[in-house]
Structure 1
Amino acid sequence: MNKRQAGAFWEEAVTAYLMRSGVNILERNYRCSRGEIDIIGFHRGCLVFFEVKYRNDDRFGTALEAVGSAKQEKICRCADWYLWKHPAEGDVQIRFDVVAVCRKEIQWIQNAFEYRRAGTWNSRRRR
Structure 2
Amino acid sequence: MEKTSFGREGEALARQYLENKGYRFLDANFRTSHSEIDLIMDDGDVLVFVEVKSRHNRRYGEPVEAVNPFKQRHIRFGARAYVLKKKIVDRRIRFDVVEVMVPREGKPLFRHTRNAF
TM-score scaled to structure 2, two decimals?
A: 0.89
Is residue 19 of structure 1 aligned with residue 23 of structure 2? no
User: How many angstroms does 1:19 deviate by?
Assistant: 1.1
Q: Distance in 1 between matches of 2:5 and 2:35?
A: 20
User: How many angstroms does 1:60 deviate by?
Assistant: 1.0
User: How many angstroms does 1:109 deviate by?
Assistant: 0.7
Matching residue of 2:111: 107
Q: Distance in 2 between matches of 1:78 and 1:5?
A: 22
Q: Map Cα deviations across residues 23-63 of structure 1 (whole Å, 9 max, x no partner).
A: 11111011112210000111021000000001111121111
| Count of equivalent residues | 112
User: How many angstroms does 1:94 deviate by?
Assistant: 0.4
User: How many angstroms does 1:65 deviate by?
Assistant: 0.4
User: How many angstroms does 1:86 deviate by?
Assistant: 1.2
CA RMSD of aligned residues (A): 1.2
The answer for unaligned runs of 5 or more in structure 1 is: 114-127
Secondary structure at the aligned position of 2:115 is classed as strand
Matching residue of 1:81: 81
TM-score scaled to structure 1, two decimals?
A: 0.83
Retained in 1: the 8 A contact 2:13–2:100?
A: no
User: How many angstroms does 1:21 deviate by?
Assistant: 1.1
Secondary structure at the aligned position of 1:111 is classed as coil
Retained in 1: the 8 A contact 2:30–2:36?
A: yes
Identity between Structure 1 and Structure 2 (%): 39
Retained in 1: the 8 A contact 2:30–2:37?
A: yes
User: How many angstroms does 1:2 deviate by?
Assistant: 2.4
Retained in 1: the 8 A contact 2:37–2:51?
A: yes
What code does the residue aligned with 2:94 have?
R
Q: Distance in 2 between matches of 1:62 and 1:55?
A: 9
Secondary structure at the aligned position of 1:101 is classed as strand
